[in-house]
Amino acid sequence: MTMTTITTTSLPNPFHRGKVRDTYDLGGGLLLMVATDRISAFDVVLPTGVPEKGVVLSRMSAFWFRKTAHIIPNHYIAMANEPAARPHLPANLPPEIARRAMVVRRAQRIDVECVARGYIAGSAWAEYQASGAIFGAPAPKSLKEGQELSKPIFTPTTKAEAGHDMNMTIQQVVNMVGPARAAELEAKTIAVYNFAREYARQRGVIIADTKMEFGLLNGQLILIDELLTPDSSRFWDAAAYSLGKSQPNYDKQFVRDWLNSAGWNHEPPAPALPSAIVQKTVERYKEAYARLTGEDPSHI
């Protein structure tokens, strides 16, 4: 199958445009969520698309939504190219859009990025190097980059539409949603992460951290947006894992590393990605999909 790249969409009844996803109102409490091939890093959308990335993101999210529904309900109904979605779709939806899209229930989004960390990496490692703390809390001395934490921690951030997400204290989450809902957000985030981490470990992948989004539907907390994708998670190769360095990965850390090496200051505009970096990103995303789902990515 020839790889296509879709970075913009234009369908009836636009509802929301995010860094990667374009969402449309289908009516009846349903939305069409299209994962485009846009890629963001350091909260900035890059000018270069990554072919088929949206297909991998949507299919992997659908996989995890089905896998974790016993832990917490979610907004997923069907992939847009599946028979169950057809009654809800606009006429003449292009097949390449349908491959990247899912039909979901519309929920009231909670504006918190719920992050679960099982290993010290990324911004947590940077904070630890600077202050000896992780998420503002004292951490054991002599931790090494990539080291597993004694137990997963919950480190929420703001959900920024523009600019950078910022760390939130637990008290700030409590102030936003109340103590009972804040406790539920933390518990469900860690429960989903723990389930996925054990599942992935059996398939040679370490999920170092991941972020989730939640919403309310008829007063019930549900998972929304994407789930456990290479965009929202750090996926490491378990066979090549070793402490003290950036780990061999199946996520967009590869892109972040290149952007840092290019000297970018993490503020718009972002530089274009070279074709070799784009191709390696495609390969890593599809490898993550194959390892975790057991499906051949060339058939999706």
Query: At the topology level of CATH, where does 109-250 sit?
Result: D-amino Acid Aminotransferase; Chain A, domain 1 (3.30.470)
Helix 53-67 × helix 275-293 angle, to 10°: 20
Write down the pLDDT at residue 161: 64
Write down the pLDDT at residue 176: 96
As assigned by CATH, the class of the 14-107 domain is alpha beta
Q: Walk along the chain (300 residues) and give the pLDDT tens digit of each residue.
A: 568 999 999 999 999 999 999 999 999 999 999 999 999 999 899 999 999 999 999 999 999 999 999 999 999 999 999 999 999 999 899 999 999 999 999 999 999 999 999 999 999 999 999 999 999 888 999 999 999 999 999 999 998 665 567 889 999 999 999 999 999 999 999 999 999 999 999 999 999 999 999 999 999 999 999 999 999 999 999 999 999 998 989 998 889 999 999 999 999 999 999 999 999 999 999 999 999 999 998 888
Q: Per-domain residue ranges for the chain?
A: 14-107, 109-250
Report CA-CA distances (Å) from 45 to 42, 49, 161, 265, 275.
8, 9, 11, 14, 17
Gap between the Cα atoms of 110 and 30, Å rounded: 18
Instruction: Match 């780990």 to its residue by tokens.
Output: 247
CB-CB contact of 68 with 185 (8 Å): no
pTM of the model: 0.95
> Which residue stretches of the chain are H helix?
53-67, 95-98, 122-131, 170-177, 179-201, 253-261, 275-293
